[in-house]
Amino acid sequence: MENAKLNNFNIFNLQSSIFNSQKGFTLLEVMVAIVILGLGLTVVFELFSGGLKSVEISNDYSNAVILANKKMGELSLKEKLDVGKETGDFSEEDNYKWEVDIVSYQVDEETNKEIASPEPALSEKTRFFADAQNDRSEGARNDNPIKIYQLDVRVFWKSGLTEKDVRLTSLRTYMEKPQEEAVK
């Protein structure tokens, strides 16, 4: 009987120690949970921040392309283009500046290559302009009132410590007035 009481006591004692250990978390468990939660929140905030930065960069490039296209349109409306470089800034946008480089588009007679085109990709795309001018005789080319110009519009801005830019390049044809009309 005493043996049975001893077994009952051990069973109750064992059960009470199990129940006592399940009443809460240890300090170590709480600290590990807080560290894991902190790391998870840090990753989420970094992803959020990176997404917002990507949106800002995309917005800057979109604005630059719109402004470069606007400047290219202004050049298309000019009656006469002056060969050379011009720079300026946009009055409606504080951070953006522009640079325009206008060169006369010509073909080298000996090599049959474009002189003004700085980019090979543009040269291949516009081969038909060069071939059309190259097929004409020397006298006819000089008298031709249609002139081809290469317009290079560069819009640039500061983003942090670096300067970013967008460049649009196009060919434009312009009809120059003959000398007789200019004298009259």
Longest dimension (CA), the chain: 138
pLDDT at position 120, please?
43
How confident is the model over 37-83, as pLDDT tens digits?
A: 999 999 999 988 888 889 999 999 999 999 999 999 998 888 788 88
pLDDT band with cut points at 50, 70 and 90 for residue 2: low
Mean pLDDT of the region 22-32: 86
Nearby residues of 73 by Cβ (< 8 Å), 6 or more positions away? none
How many CB atoms sit inside 10 A of residue 136's CB?
A: 12
Under CATH, what is the fold of the domain 46-183?
Answer: Pantoate--beta-alanine Ligase; Chain: A,domain 2 (3.30.1300)
What average pLDDT does the structure give for the chain?
76
The count of C-alpha atoms lying within 13 angstroms of the C-alpha of 93, restricted to the half-sphere facing its C-beta, is: 20
156 HSE (CA, 13 A, CB side): 11
pLDDT at 171 over 70: yes
**How confident is the model at residue 49, as a pLDDT?**
86
